[in-house]
Chains A and B, each alone.
Chain A
Amino acid sequence: MLRYIIRRIFQMIPTVFGVIVITFILFNIVGGSPAAMTLGKNVSPKALEEFDEQRGFNKPLLLGRWSATRAYENTTFERNAGPWRQVEGVTYTAPQRREPGHITLAPGKDYALPLAFKLKPQVTYQWVLKYRLLSGTAAFKTVHSYQPDDVTGAKPALAAAGGFERQIRLLTTNSAWQTVKIPFNAGAVPATLKLTVHTEGGALEICALKLRRQNANWFDTQFVFYLSQIARLDFGKSNFTNQRVSQMLKDGIGPSLCLTAPIFFVELVVAVSIALLCAFFRNTLVDRLIVVIAVMLMSVNYLVWIIFGQYMLGYRWGWFPLWGFESWTFLLLPVLIGVVSGLGGNVRFYRTIMLDEMYRDYVRTAFAKGVSRPGVLFKHVLKNAMIPILTNVVIVIPFLYTGSLLLEVFFGIPGLGNMYINAINYSDVDVIRAIVLIGSILYVIANLMTDLCYALFDPRVKIG
């Protein structure tokens, strides 16, 4: 038995890993960085960068050395010159048929690269540059120009010198477009740093320019970041409520369970009893009527149950409180609606199970021996039908934790379902991802439980 359990737990691992991969693909690869979507349009690049930094979205996806940075974002010159518009001596050429859009830097001048915000100190950055130089040379330089108050006391010698410049790379003449990667260090005080280009003897044409930041190692990536987040059980921070997601989940699960657990138990008891009733009166008018009613109940939309229930019972007749989460009376109506809306499908399902059992040989034998009808039903059929019922029941348990999305919204219950819908509306990625992930993992665990229950309750299921 123990060996079986251990083996099943090991079998769980690939599925859990699969769930992690799928959520990663969905939110990191398909979704891309949600920074602009969540923060809005008129936000400084620095704020976006911080958003990405916090969630690891600027890192490479699976494996890589370089992170994106928004300090210099416009990488191609397809529509306009971007931040180079302001710089004197720069002319912009729109894309032609063969030629990509590019900017031309007139010779004999220093050009400073327009950065959106300061770079990080002592970090290696990299220019990725696609250029053409028909004649002459161009040099990439980092220029540190210190003002006395920039360096207070720390390095007075440097301050006295008024700064220094360092030539990083000399570009030579070439007539075709060529891509070069130029690494450089941001230095101790990046506030004073100017990234400059100097051209001499010929115009430098640039058609793509990127700035990237070096990571600590090759595995400093989004995927590893995600995995480590999961391992630390840290699901990030909601950018809407500004709370930690784990705290939000802790707060939300109580109300959710208050709502779903009663629905689950009441519905189970009622549905199984009605199904037994069907089995008792099988092939009579009562049975048929119950089936018809069950199918009708199934066909009414869930939304309609809620809206009409709230309108008629809560508002028109005033039997229940309408909205809120203050005492147990506020739960009565949502629980009632939840039970009724799920009843049809459940009754039909359990009835099928019961009837499947009713035609078995052992039932006929029991009847032939003269066991009474209730005796057969409760002692034999119910016991044997327990296995499919159990499967169904255990599988539903993980869904209890998400609460009931719509019921919570309509009745103002501050549970996880309510939270999830809010998160969807505000594109709150961290919250959505955490809820999806935890739901999936609970489901996998419930699956394991079902298998173990099988092994416990049915001696025919082989173990090991």
Chain B
Amino acid sequence: MNHSITESLNHSISSSLWGDAWRQLRRNRIAVASFWIIVVYLAMALYGEGVFWYFHWKDMTPPYQQTNLREEYLSPSVFRHPFAVSSVDDPGAVGSPAVDHRGQPAAKSVVARFRTGLRTLAHHPLGTDNLGRDVFQRTVQGARIAFQVGIITSCIAIPIGVILGCLAGYFGGKTDDFIVWLYSTFSSIPDLLFIMAIAMVVGKGLQGVYLGIGLTTWVNLCRLIRGEVMKHKTRPYVQVAHALGLGPFRIMFRHILPNVFHIVIITFSLRFPAAISTEVFMSFLGIGLTTWVNLCRLIRGEVMKHKTRPYVQAAHALGLGPFRIMFRHILPNVFHIVIITFSLRFPAAISTEVFMSFLGIGVQGEPSWGIMISNARLRLWQGVWWEMTFVTAAIFFIVLAFNLLGDALRDALDPRLRTSER
């Protein structure tokens, strides 16, 4: 009896919107593959972050900035015939099969030659650029910057969009008029022009400081969430979940977190003005400031629909305040839009960053993908194809993965959004 209740409850839990979507996603092989591609890139970006901070902390030139003029224009290691028979006559040229990267003559026995070959293979696997800098390392750094851009701009855009959208949809009337005016104005200005104008006005340069902002923001957020979770712990729904024998992590992340998630959003939106005033976000700011419009429009429409639903009216009848209803009740029900938008905007943010860095108004002094393309472009005419190719491939796969995953997410969570979002 007891068992069957748990069973049926479990069933009803897993056929919720999120559970349903999750199952649908897991069955979609393309979505899973895209997910893993993104995870790989994320790992690369994290590794890049680690490298960056390690060398920053040690105050050394990081490997991706190290120049070595003896090894300029080294082609990818596979094309250097690492396992070829050594011609001892010409041991001079670096990167030629006869010499390993330390400049010693290659050994003669098969095993030793195999070992030398492997070492050569690992030495600048994707070749070097005009200053002898490793293309692989620089591509990894590009991934790091791309993720920073994607995440930071989402952190700017999502709070503005979610909050304004909720307010407009829920309150209607004057508030709605104002917010609609605001976003229609913002969306009237051509995106790219606006982004570039903002970047020019706010100024080029500076980055890496937002990690500092992140490190100061989380304390506040953590304190708020802690207090909120402590309050929620005594609530009946948590006790019911306890009585059903659910594990603490499940309760925490499946039950309490959705109920306190609004705090995350609110905190980020409160940090946002402070962040602007420090002018740290520069070009990122530009991207974030223009993306919120679309999200705001979608959320507004959705909230307006939900306003007439029975559960909102019930909450009204119970005498709950408008903000509570908005952020606690309606928001969790429209939050999937945020996720879809995020996954669809991410590749766009990356592309914009590449574009702006290419034009020289984005990232300064770091090997972002845009800067790499901009440098590699001139060398392509001299036949140095590898730098260009690998950067292109790197961008291609991450954008492809996000496009596919975004589609799958949209199909799983809300197929209706198909035509409204391009």
Interface residues in chain A, defined as those with a beta carbon under 8 Å from any beta carbon in chain B: 14-15, 18-19, 21-23, 26-27, 30-31, 295-296, 298-304, 307-308, 311, 315, 345, 349, 352-353, 356, 388, 398-399, 402, 405-406, 420-421, 424-425, 427, 432-433, 435-436, 439-441, 443-444, 447
Contact = CB atoms under 8 A, between A and B. Distances in A.
B22 interface: no
**Chain B at the A interface: SS class:** helix
B194 A352 contact: no
Given A14-B181, A443-B188, A432 B399 contact: no
B185 A439 contact: no
B215 interface: no
B184 A15 contact: yes
B396 A300 contact: yes
Interface string B176-211: 000001101110111011101110111000000000
Contacts of A444: 188
Given A295-B404, A299-B399, A356-B419, A421 B359 contact: yes
B381 interface: yes
A307 B197 contact: no
Interface in B261-281: none
B358 interface: yes
A30 B200 CA distance: 11
Interface in B112-158: none
Given A19-B188, A424-B197, 14 more contacts: A18-B181, A18-B184, A19-B185, A26-B198, A30-B202, A301-B354, A301-B399, A303-B358, A307-B380, A307-B388, A353-B419, A356-B419, A425-B359, A440-B188
Given A352-B418, A424-B361, A439 B189 contact: yes
Contacts of B193: 402, 420, 432, 435-436, 439
Contact of B190 (A21, A300, A315, A399): A399
Contacts, number: 119
Contact of B380 (A31, A311, A406, A443): A311
A200 to B, nearest CB: 46
Interface in B349-383: 351, 354-355, 358-361, 370, 373, 377, 380-381
Contacts of B351: 301-302
Nearest to B359: A421
A295 B408 CA distance: 13
Nearest to B202: A30
Contacts of A299: 347, 396-397, 399-400, 403
B392 interface: yes
Nearest to A27: B201
Contacts of B419: 349, 352-353, 356, 388
B192 to A, nearest CB: 7
CB-CB nearest 8 A-B residue pairs: A18-B185, A299-B400, A31-B201, A299-B399, A439-B190, A440-B188, A440-B189, A443-B188
A155 B65 CA distance: 72
B395 interface: yes
B422 interface: yes
A454 B358 CA distance: 40
A315 B377 CA distance: 13
Nearest to A301: B395
Contact of B403 (A295, A311, A439): A295
6 contacts: A26-B197, A298-B399, A299-B347, A307-B388, A436-B194, A440-B189
Contacts of A352: 418-419
Contacts of B197: 26-27, 424, 432-433, 436
A424 B200 contact: yes
Given A15-B181, A307-B380, A440 B392 contact: no
A385 to B, nearest CB: 11
A235 B184 CA distance: 24
Nearest to B407: A295
A429 to B, nearest CB: 9
Contacts of A405: 192
A307 B373 contact: yes
A436 B381 contact: no
A26 B190 contact: no
Contacts of A22: 185-186, 189
A30 B188 contact: no
Contacts of A398: 190
Given A424-B361, A432-B200, A406 B188 contact: no
Nearest to A345: B422
A137 B197 CA distance: 52
A307 B377 contact: yes
A412 to B, nearest CB: 15
A405 B193 CA distance: 9
A299 B350 CA distance: 11
Given A15-B184, A18-B185, A349-B422, A424 B201 contact: no
A399 B185 CA distance: 16
A304 B189 contact: no
A298 B360 CA distance: 24
A399 B190 CA distance: 7
A21 B188 CA distance: 13
A308 B396 CA distance: 14
A380 to B, nearest CB: 19
A385 B404 CA distance: 25
A30 B360 CA distance: 21
Nearest to B189: A440
A447 B188 CA distance: 9
A268 to B, nearest CB: 15
Given A425-B360, A427-B200, A302 B396 contact: no
B404 A303 contact: no
A295 B354 contact: no
Contacts of A30: 201-202
Contacts of A424: 196-197, 200, 359, 361
A223 to B, nearest CB: 16
Contacts of B181: 14-15, 18
A1 B193 CA distance: 35
A349 B421 CA distance: 9
A428 B377 CA distance: 27
B182 A18 contact: yes
Given A19-B188, A295-B400, A311-B381, A302 B355 contact: yes
A19 B183 CA distance: 11
Contacts of A23: 189
Contacts of B359: 421, 424-425
Interface in B332-361: 347, 351, 354-355, 358-361
Contacts of A295: 400, 403-404, 407
